Amino acid sequence: MNAFTEAVIEADPTVPIIRIIRDFAATPEQLLRAHTDPDLFAQWIGPTNVSTRIDYWDARSGGSWRFINFREDGEFAFYGCFHEISRDRIVQTFTYEGMPEGVSLETLTFEPIDQTHTRLRAQSLVDSFEGRDMWLSSGMESGVNEGYAALDGLLVRGAV
């Protein structure tokens, strides 16, 4: 197994897309649950210096969501719509309320590697190359890796 214990984050040179690949010691069902159960999601999403409160969360195809991150320098809200939720894929929009014109389309797939490991592939299509580059320079890499490390901890403890 080629394990990615830290997320591989790549910017596509021809389209304003960010791709993330990360392996987990989990089943696809566990990763789907971690991304769709609001209580679990709030425990792992984002960097370690934020706490998350779910405002609303309707995890079904056609549903919507909103959460707020709190940290020392303020609060930051995000929202979107779930376009598709299936056994091995989530398609959703993602918007930071501070930049409502910057909607991204995200596709997450959960690919079994073996009986106990799954590869998460995430792709975010951003509105522009400038928007994509702002995301990449925003500290996104540490937030992604810290969040996924927290998810690893939930998985080890059997919380998912």
Q: H-helix or E-strand containing 151? A: helix 140-156
Q: Is 129 among the domain residues?
A: yes
Residue matched to tokens 């919380």: 159
Q: Is-contact 24 152, C-beta < 8 A? A: yes
> Residue 89: which residues within 8 A CB-CB, separation 6 or more?
107, 108, 109, 110
On whether residue 1 sits in a domain, the answer given is: no
**What gap in Å lies between CA 157 and CA 71, rounded to an integer?**
26
With respect to residue 2, please indicate whether it lies within any of the assigned structural domains.
no
Q: Look at residue 3 and tell me if it is in a domain.
A: no
Please report whether residue 116 resides in a domain: yes
Mind listing the pLDDT tens digit for each residue in 38-60?
999 999 998 999 999 999 999 99
Which domain range does residue 88 map to?
8-156
For residue 19, pLDDT over 90 is answered with yes
Q: Within a domain: residue 43?
A: yes
| Per-residue confidence (pLDDT) for residue 1, from 0 to 100 | 47
In tens, the pLDDT along 81-120 reads 999 999 999 999 999 998 888 899 999 999 999 999 999 9
What CATH number does the domain containing 128 carry? 3.30.530.20
Please report which confidence band the pLDDT of residue 3 belongs to, taking 50, 70 and 90 as the band edges.
Answer: low
Domains held by the chain: number: 1
